């Protein structure tokens, strides 16, 4: 162990405070938080979800490590009560806080808060994923309204967590300045300097290496579809349920345009549309009455009111009960979800205007409209400036 | 046994051609009964390529707008962008095989392109043009 002299002539040694698992946990958790924050757009849902799973796994590991880890990682090393925190903060205000080799009282509370909030964010995220998307281990546990509530909770908790992260970072900067040491570098190298005799923790590099391998393996497994996709067969991270289908509907409606799934409009819209088949957006469909009846039955039975998908539920609740809209693109939910798309994108030859859902939604023909099944054609991506 | 199989396969393969001949000749007879005479491929082709101005929107419309001028190639729906399979029966044997389908598309597409239903003469000319492509 190297020794050096500090101002005042006290002999000090380099002490390993943060073992490798703790450092890996810290920086990976921070990365997950940042990644999750920047993958809010539905298109990147699979990245967001992975960041969430990883965050959950890391926090569970940290809770375990708080009991079996190195001396500075154990909870009993930083189990400070409120009055200790209060005293510490008073000392900070007087610019003379005592130095702690491990976590200080204020920092320890930030850690407990971050662990608690992180876990709550992960749990509400899983509930949202299961309730709104019908995916993940909690798929279908909540219905759509409950899933929406979990979603709002998830967002509020995330903002709260961001607040604690900011306080945590400010605390690090303040303490680094007051003690003239770089705490950020310590969290990278694991080392701090201390008076002789302080205990050094083991590096626990084997556990760290195992964690790293596990994270990389999980990442490769989760994202392998992106590596194997081809332009013809685009990768769709999440598949929705198989929706009711009908060959006559697919054949007749699909002859001129994408066979828009019944779940995309309410029953009253479909009835009106089939009754006016002789003036179908400027065309006379000239379908036989028998075909009209069969198609109408299929449309009405699986209309938006049935809530077969998240999109169906949200489209239906967005339309005032008195309105009979004939275009999916006139529904308030559709408009809201597409408002950021610039005219340049709509006019792009690969997009064909607002009528061709399949230009960007890989699963448009299936009717599921999964959040993560959105994929702008590559040269359209360059046109999209607004996102 | 083997010869029997070949015979059945040949018979099955020839169904589309019989069906086409049937559907087209049935319709030609019907259009004749409605007053059409001497159906003519040249007249059909001219009408196929003719441009019509839409009374409401003022845009130019023609059969080629969606089906393109080369009927052996796939077309593209002018309003929805949906791919349309080639019209020529030699390339796409499903074409002109079902009376119901032909009638439906005549109504739909004549109304959109010409702004009215086609006459029996026009429909007969179209068939004369399309059936030998």
Sign of CA dihedral A302, A257, A337, A50: positive
Residues A65 and A17 in one domain: yes
Find, among A176, A66, A50, the residue nearest to A122 by Cα: A50
Q: Is A263 exposed, middle or buried (0-12, 13-18, 19+ CB in 10 A)?
A: buried
Which residue in B has a C-alpha nearest to residue A287's C-alpha?
B104
Residues A313 and A363 in one domain: yes
Structural domain count, chain A: 2
Q: Mutate which of A252, A258, A281, A282 to test chain B, going by most B C-beta atoms within 10 A? A: A282
Residues A198 and A304 in one domain: no
pLDDT at A260 over 80: yes
Spatial strand order in the sheet of A11-16: A3-5, A11-16, A191-195
Find, among A335, A310, A320, the residue nearest to A266 by Cα: A320
Percent of chain A, pLDDT > 90? Answer: 66
pLDDT at A2 over 50: no
Residues A104 and A223 in one domain: yes
pLDDT at B16 over 80: no
Which residue in B has a C-alpha nearest to residue A355's C-alpha?
B80
Binning pLDDT at 50, 70 and 90, where does residue A240 land? confident
Query: Quick check: is A235 in a domain?
Result: no
Choose the closest CB to A352 out of B80, B103, B108: B80
With residue A192 as reference, give the H or E element that holds it: strand A191-195
Choose the closest CB to A257 out of B56, B82, B112: B82
The CA-atom distances, in angstroms, between A57 and each of A54, A123, A281, A309, A324 are 5, 12, 53, 29, 48
Per-residue pLDDT, A1: 40
Question: Beta-strand (E) ranges in chain B?
Answer: 52-53, 60-61, 75-76, 83-84
Find, among A269, A247, A256, A383, the residue nearest to A320 by Cα: A269
Residues A210 and A295 in one domain: no
Please give the average per-residue pLDDT across A74-91, as a whole number.
Answer: 91
Determine the distance from the C-alpha atom of residue A300 to the mean position of all C-alpha atoms in its chain, rounded to a whole number.
34
Chain B interface, Cβ < 8 Å to A: 56, 77, 79-82, 100, 103-104, 107-108, 111-112
- Interface contact A256-B82, CB threshold 8 A: yes
Residues from chain B that touch A286, judged by Cβ atoms under 8 A, are: 103-104, 107-108
- Interface contact A356-B112, CB threshold 8 A: no
| End-of-domain residue from the set A228, A257, A285 | A228
Chain A interface, Cβ < 8 Å to B: 256-258, 282-288, 352-353, 355-356
- Residue pair A253/A295 in contact (Cβ under 8 Å)? The answer is yes
The CA-atom distances, in angstroms, between B55 and each of A161, A276, A365, B112 are 62, 21, 34, 10
Residues A45 and A131 in one domain: yes
| End-of-domain residue from the set A198, A228, A258 | A228
Query: Quick check: is A233 in a domain?
Result: no
What is the DSSP secondary structure assignment for residue A361, as one 8-state letter?
B
Assigned token pair, A372: 């993560």
Residues A216 and A150 in one domain: yes
User: Could you write out the three-class secondary structure of A257-317?
Assistant: CCCCCHHHCCHHHHHHHHHCHHHECCECCCCCHHHHHHHHHHHHHCCHHHCCCHHHHHHHH
Query: Quick check: is A240 in a domain?
Result: no
The CA-atom distances, in angstroms, between A197 and each of A12, A118, A150, A183, A200 are 9, 35, 50, 20, 9
Residues from chain B that touch A282, judged by Cβ atoms under 8 A, are: 56, 112
Q: CA of A351 to nearest chain B CA: how many angstroms apart?
A: 9
Query: Quick check: is A241 in a domain?
Result: no
Determine the distance from the C-alpha atom of residue B108 to the mean position of all C-alpha atoms in its chain, rounded to a whole number.
12
pLDDT at A125 over 90: yes
How far is A154 from B92, CA to CA, in rounded Å? 54
Per-residue pLDDT, B35: 86
How far is A88 from A250, CA to CA, in rounded Å? 70
Please give the average per-residue pLDDT across A299-326, as a whole number.
Answer: 94
- Interface contact B80-A356, CB threshold 8 A: yes
Assigned token pair, A360: 């960007």
Binning pLDDT at 50, 70 and 90, where does residue A292 land? very high
pLDDT at B78 over 50: yes
Binning pLDDT at 50, 70 and 90, where does residue B80 land? confident
Tell me, what CATH number does A164's domain have?
A: 1.20.950.20
What is the DSSP secondary structure assignment for residue A76, as one 8-state letter?
G
CATH topology of domain B2-131: Cytochrome Bc1 Complex; Chain D, domain 2 (1.10.760)
pLDDT at A171 over 80: yes
Q: Mutate which of A252, A279, A284 to test chain B, going by most B C-beta atoms within 10 A? A: A284
Residues A128 and A30 in one domain: yes
Per the structure, the complete domain to which residue A53 belongs is given by 3-228
Query: Quick check: is A166 in a domain?
Result: yes
* Residue bearing the bigger pLDDT, A160 or A101: A160
Per-residue pLDDT, A9: 54
Per-residue pLDDT, A349: 83
Contacts of A356 (CB under 8 A, 6+ apart): A257, A258, B80, B81, B82
Per-residue pLDDT, A233: 82
**Window from A5-14, A142-151, A307-316 with minimum mean pLDDT:** A5-14
Per-residue pLDDT, A386: 43
Residues A209 and A343 in one domain: no
Query: Quick check: is A142 in a domain?
Result: yes
Sign of CA dihedral A339, A230, A133, A327: positive
Q: Mutate which of A250, A253, A255 to test chain B, going by most B C-beta atoms within 10 A? A: A255
Percent of chain B, pLDDT > 90? Answer: 22
Binning pLDDT at 50, 70 and 90, where does residue B17 land? low
Per-residue pLDDT, A3: 46
Please give the average per-residue pLDDT across A316-323, as a whole number.
Answer: 94
Residues A158 and A130 in one domain: yes
Per-residue pLDDT, A51: 97
pLDDT at A324 over 50: yes
Residue with structure tokens 């088949």?
A: A277
Assigned token pair, A50: 């992975």
Residues A325 and A374 in one domain: yes
- ipTM of predicted complex: 0.78
Q: CA of A256 to nearest chain B CA: how many angstroms apart?
A: 6
How far is A135 from A315, CA to CA, in rounded Å? 20
Contacts of B82 (CB under 8 A, 6+ apart): A256, A257, A258, A356, B76
Read off φ and ψ for residue B75, nearest 5 degrees.
-105, -170
Please give the average per-residue pLDDT across B57-64, as a whole number.
Answer: 89
- Interface contact B111-A284, CB threshold 8 A: yes
Residues A285 and A351 in one domain: yes
Residues from chain A that touch B103, judged by Cβ atoms under 8 A, are: 286
- Interface contact A353-B81, CB threshold 8 A: yes
pLDDT at B117 over 60: yes
- Interface contact A287-B104, CB threshold 8 A: yes
Please give the average per-residue pLDDT across B52-69, as a whole number.
Answer: 88
The CA-atom distances, in angstroms, between A200 and each of A13, A176, A211 are 10, 21, 22
Query: Quick check: is A128 in a domain?
Result: yes
Residues from chain B that touch A288, judged by Cβ atoms under 8 A, are: 100
């Amino acid at each position: 162990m190297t020794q050096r002299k500090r101002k005042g002539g006290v002999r000090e040694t380099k002490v390993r405070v943060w073992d490798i698992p703790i450092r890996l946990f810290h920086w990976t958790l921070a990365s997950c938080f940042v990644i999750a924050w920047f993958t809010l757009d539905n298109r990147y849902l699979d990245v967001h979800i992975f960041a969430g799973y990883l965050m959950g796994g890391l926090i569970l590991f940290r809770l375990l490590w708080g009991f079996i880890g190195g001396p500075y990682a154990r909870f009993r090393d930083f189990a400070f009560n409120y009055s200790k925190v209060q005293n510490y903060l008073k000392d900070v205000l007087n610019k003379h806080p005592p130095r702690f080799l491990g976590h200080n009282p204020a920092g320890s509370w930030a850690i407990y808060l971050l662990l608690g909030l992180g876990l709550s964010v992960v749990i509400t995220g899983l509930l949202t994923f299961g309730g709104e998307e019908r995916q993940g281990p909690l798929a279908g546990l909540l219905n759509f309204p409950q899933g929406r509530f979990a979603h709002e909770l998830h967002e509020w908790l995330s903002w709260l967590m961001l607040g604690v992260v900011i306080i945590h970072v400010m605390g690090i900067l303040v303490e680094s300045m007051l003690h003239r040491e770089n705490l950020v570098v310590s969290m990278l190298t694991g080392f701090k300097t201390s008076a002789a005799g302080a205990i050094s923790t083991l590096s626990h590099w084997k556990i760290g290496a195992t964690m790293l391998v596990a994270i990389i393996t999980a990442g490769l497994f989760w994202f392998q579809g992106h590596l194997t996709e081809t332009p013809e067969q685009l990768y769709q991270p999440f598949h929705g349920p198989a929706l009711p289908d009908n060959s006559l509907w697919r054949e007749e409606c699909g002859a001129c345009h994408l066979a828009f799934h019944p779940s995309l409009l309410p029953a009253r819209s479909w009835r009106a549309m089939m009754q006016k088949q002789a003036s179908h957006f400027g065309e006379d469909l000239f379908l036989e009455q028998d075909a009209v009846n069969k198609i109408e039955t299929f449309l009405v039975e699986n209309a938006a009111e049935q809530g077969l998908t998240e999109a169906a539920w949200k489209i239906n609740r967005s339309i005032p009960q008195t309105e009979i809209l004939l275009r999916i693109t006139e529904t308030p939910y559709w408009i809201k979800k597409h408002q950021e798309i610039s005219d340049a994108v709509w006019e792009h030859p690969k997009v064909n205007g607002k009528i061709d859902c399949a230009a960007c939604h890989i699963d448009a023909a299936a009717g599921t409209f999964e959040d993560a099944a959105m994929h702008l054609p590559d040269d359209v991506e360059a046109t999209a400036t607004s996102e | 046994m083997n010869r029997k199989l070949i015979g059945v396969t040949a018979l099955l393969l020839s169904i589309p051609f019989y069906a086409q001949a049937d559907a087209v000749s049935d319709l030609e007879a019907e259009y004749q009964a409605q007053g059409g005479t001497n159906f003519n491929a040249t007249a059909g082709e001219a009408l196929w390529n003719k441009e019509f101005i839409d009374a409401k929107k003022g845009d130019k419309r023609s059969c080629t707008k969606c089906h393109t001028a080369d009927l052996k190639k796939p077309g593209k729906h002018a309003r929805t962008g949906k791919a349309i399979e080639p019209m020529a029966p030699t390339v796409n044997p499903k074409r002109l095989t079902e009376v119901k389908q032909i009638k439906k598309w005549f109504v739909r597409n004549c109304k959109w392109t010409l702004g009215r239903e086609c006459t029996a003469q026009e429909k007969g000319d179209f068939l004369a043009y399309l059936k030998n492509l």
